[in-house]
Amino acid sequence: MPRPPTFALLLACMLLAACNRQPPAVTPTAGNDAVAASVDADTQDAFTFAEADIASLQARMADGTLDSHALTQAYLDRIAAIDDAGPRLNAVIELNPQALEEADARDAERKAGTVRGPLHGIPMLLKDNIDATPMVNSAGSLALAEHRPKDDAFLVQQLREAGAVILGKTNLSEWANIRSSRSTSGWSARGGQTRNPYALDRSPCGSSSGTGSAIAANLAVVGIGTETDGSIICPSAVAALVGIKPTVGLVSRDGVIPISRSQDTAGPMARSVADAAAVLAAISGEDANDVATQASVGHVVTDYTPHLKADGLAGARIGVVRDLMGYQPDVDAAMEQAIAAMQAAGATVVDADIATLNDWNDPEFTVLKYELKAGLERYLTESDAPITTLAGLIEFNREHAEREMPFFGQDIFEQAQALGPLTDAAYLDARKKTRQLAGPEGLDATLAEHQLDALVAPATSPAWLIDPISGDHFTGAGYGVAAAAGTPSITVPMGNSHGLPLGVVFMGPAWSEPRLVELAYSFEQATHARKPPRFQPTVTP
């Protein structure tokens, strides 16, 4: 029997002027102008770098037929044509005014014989909850619309050291979807409503909504999202992307506006497993400002190329969590095809349901609300934000309710504000239960019982209609156990429902990113299920 939507499912949506771009409207409704402005089917193919991957772009820059300046300019032009005009995806919230300067610097280095690595000169986008100078970091809130951190987040430092060019910031579900239980994914007061490039009236999911839509629509080569529970996996799945949610502690959270120190992580969103793995390698590693990364010592992979194995599924044992199916027939059909593809590639696939499935939902929500207040206030204070307390943000929203809360409120913020410190017994008990039920007694126990390399499930439902009045219509998802356990997951395209992408999520034990990359890459090469978007106004029969 299908399970009803629970907190772990809903959290993906609940958590789930050139430079300082303004939204075309505050309203998150689809809007006749945007829906009518679909792009001709040839537009995607007309873009010179449509579906280009890191390896091919590096080859062209190496042989002198392309440079980073031209590539960066092409993506800036693409953003103007597709995000600002055309279908108006509204995925990019702000451009980096120094993007071309960064590209020029990388070109100069290349001419001088220095290539920093696979990301050298590659334009990418960051979610607007990650510090990146000289841009604003706002989490989509008007309260932080002028907040310009003085330093880059640690992961942004790593990307720049790897040679990446930061194009700009992407819109998101405001405050990473932790403000209200009735939120609309992809909407923020600062950025407006992001749209799904596969059907403009459909949700981009969240909270890494802008990154998902932008990378799917070829507005950059790769992007960075963040996740607490589903916020990388869900928007990646509904945009036919590969999204990697790493083990908590593999990637630093320093300089990232937080929800939960127990579950937060940043991760790559890309059009291929190889590209996502290249970004993951660049942003992994220990950071003195994030104690969780101390556990990553001995687990950091600086080059995933040896794990890009077309035969990665051969001899693997994969467990299907069938209790995470049954909520949508097209999803089930695609999942059965995915299972068949894994078997054809040499994997043994068995049913492997999780005994504690969803038992962690209530304690998880308690943990997130406690950690939200503590973590957010620490970030706001340390980054010299104009408002430094959760109470101050709540009051700001009340004072600017017409713009900040036109359709949904801030009930989760208010619940979090009413809680005590992280020394409360209620918090400590909830944190212990969440990790134990999802990890040792959940995912880990299931893997051990069936001697599995990974668990798989449908990543999420097909994208639903944007509904600013009632919020997200979320029917199911398969990633919650890995999110609550703090262990890695990777989603890969597996098919579609009437043109709306569907993904399969691979989940493994802590620090199993190399093995998951092998499995995901092998599945990707066996199926080639990703199809680029056509920017349709709505789903057609």
Give the catalytic positions in this structure. 127, 207, 231
- Using an 8 Å Cβ cutoff, are 411 and 394 in contact? no
**DSSP string of 371-391, one letter each residue:** HHHHHHHHHHHHTT-S--SHH
Which amino acid would we find at residue 198?
Answer: Y
Residue 112, both tokens:
């001088």
Angle at which helices 273-283 and 54-62 cross, to 10°: 80
Backbone angles phi, psi at 296, to 5 degrees: -80, -10
**DSSP string of 322-349, one letter each residue:** GGG--S-HHHHHHHHHHHHHHHHTT-EE
Choose among 295, 274, 296, 275: nearest CA to 285.
296
Backbone angles phi, psi at 244, to 5 degrees: -115, 120
Measured CA distances, 483 to 9, 37, 303 (Å) = 11, 37, 24
Residue 359, both tokens:
């038992």
Please count the other Cβ atoms lying within 10 Å of the Cβ belonging to residue 418. Answer: 9
E strand intervals along 61-196 = 92-95, 123-127, 165-170, 187-188, 192-193
Alpha helices (runs of H) in 270-312, residue ranges in sequence order: 273-283
Kindly give, in sequence order, each residue whose CB lies less than 8 Å from that of residue 159, ignoring residues fewer than 6 positions away: 119, 124, 166, 224, 279, 282, 283
Please count the other Cβ atoms lying within 10 Å of the Cβ belonging to residue 44. Answer: 18
- Using an 8 Å Cβ cutoff, are 242 and 270 in contact? yes
- Rounded distance between C-alpha atoms, residue 434 and residue 456, angstroms: 21
**Count of all residues that appear for the chain in the document:** 541
Which amino acid would we find at residue 243?
Answer: G
Choose among 103, 120, 79: nearest CA to 214.
79
- Rounded distance between C-alpha atoms, residue 365 and residue 434, angstroms: 9
- Using an 8 Å Cβ cutoff, are 361 and 10 in contact? no
Residue with tokens 């509204």: 90
